Amino acid sequence: MELSSIILPLELSLRVAGLATLFSFLFAMLLAFLLARKSGPIPAVIDALCTLPLVLPPTVIGYYLIIVLGRRGILGHALSELGINIIFSLKGAVIAATLVIFPLIYKSARAALEQVDQRLENAARTLGASELRVFLTISLPLASKGIIAGLILAFARGMGEFGATLMVAGNIPGKTQTLSLAIYAAFQAGDDATATLLVIITSFLCIFLLLTAEIILKLSAYLRKTK
């Protein structure tokens, strides 16, 4: 067993999950701001669409991504003219993971933002604050605990992404082979020692992340009570 067969997938997983969490977060915040406390058919449809990656099999998401981003895809064709290739690259893995974890971040952010006392937001409005300022200086800080907990969950889910990543980015060691792909590859090759070690590392990492999320949520509940 080589050390690189452990380190490389771990590093790739962290990179993919980190970048995917960041992109998902920014997009989720933008959407949450635009749809904040709005009702009607359009926000409802968008809300449902944003939840879709949670229920669709990852392979279906992968398939859609190949249709859009593949060399003969609608966007992929234009991108490959520019010399940008997404399929079978780390970019593809990041995009796949971003899509898969988006609902986790978006849903928890929406829930946390809706918990924020509307009177505080109204108070800020009467004090001359624009909607963007209300969102960034009142709503977001007060919802931050819930949002951070959602981010951690999403990061953990992103680390374990398998189906969509496999279809879009393939399983190239050192390039797109993340932890879960490396486990599958090692198991298929009969390299049980590597597989076991990767499984243990993945498990501990996820347990650690879940505990952190739990502690943050408990802490925020406790702080709210003492207030």
Partner 1 sequence: MIQLRIAKRFGQGQRAFRLHVDFSLASEPQFAILFGASGSGKTLTLHCLAGLTKPDTGFLVVDDRVLFDSQHKICLPARARQIGYMFQDYALFPHLTVLQNVCYSQSHFFPTSIAKRERERCMELLQQLAIAHLEKRLPHELSGGQRQRVALARALYAKPKLLLLDEPFSALDPLLRGQLRHELKSILRQLELPTVIITHDPDDVDCFSGQIVLYAKGQARVIHDYAAKRAAHSTTTQCLLTLLADDIQSIDKPARSH
Which residues contact partner 1 by CB under 8 A? Answer: 117, 119-120, 122-130, 133, 136-138, 141-142, 226-227
Q: Which is nearer to partner 1, 72 or 119 (CB)?
A: 119
Which is nearer to partner 1, 139 or 180 (by Cβ)?
Answer: 139
CB of 123 to partner 1, least distance (A): 4
CB 198 within 8 A of CB 186: yes
DSSP string, the chain: --THHHHHHHHHHHHHHHHHHHHHHHHHHHHHHHHTT--SHHHHHHHHHHHHHHHS-HHHHHHHHHHHHSTTSHHHHHHHHTT---TTSHHHHHHHHHHHHHHHHHHHHHHHHHHS-HHHHHHHHHTT--HHHHIIIIIHHHHHHHHHHHHHHHHHHHHT--HHHHHHH---TTTT--HHHHHHHHHHTT-HHHHHHHHHHHHHHHHHHHHHHHHHHHHHHHHHHH-
- In the complex, minimum distance from the CB of residue 30 to partner 1, in angstroms, rounded to a whole number: 18
- Nearer residue to partner 1 within complex by CB, 124 or 149: 124
Closest listed residue to residue 113, CA positions, set 121, 123, 124, 103: 121
Least distance from partner 1 to the Cβ atom of residue 24, Å: 25
In the bound complex, what is the minimum distance in angstroms from residue 26's beta carbon to partner 1?
Answer: 19
Query: What's the closest the beta carbon of residue 109 comes to partner 1, in angstroms?
Result: 17
Q: Are 94 and 23 in contact (CB under 8 A)?
A: yes
| Cβ distance to partner 1 smaller for residue 59 or 115 | 115
Residue closer to partner 1 by CB (options 38, 133) is 133
Closest approach of partner 1 to the CB of residue 79, in Å: 36
Q: Give 111 or 120: the residue with its C-beta nearer to partner 1.
A: 120
CB of 135 to partner 1, least distance (A): 12
Nearest CB to partner 1, comparing residues 97 and 134: 134
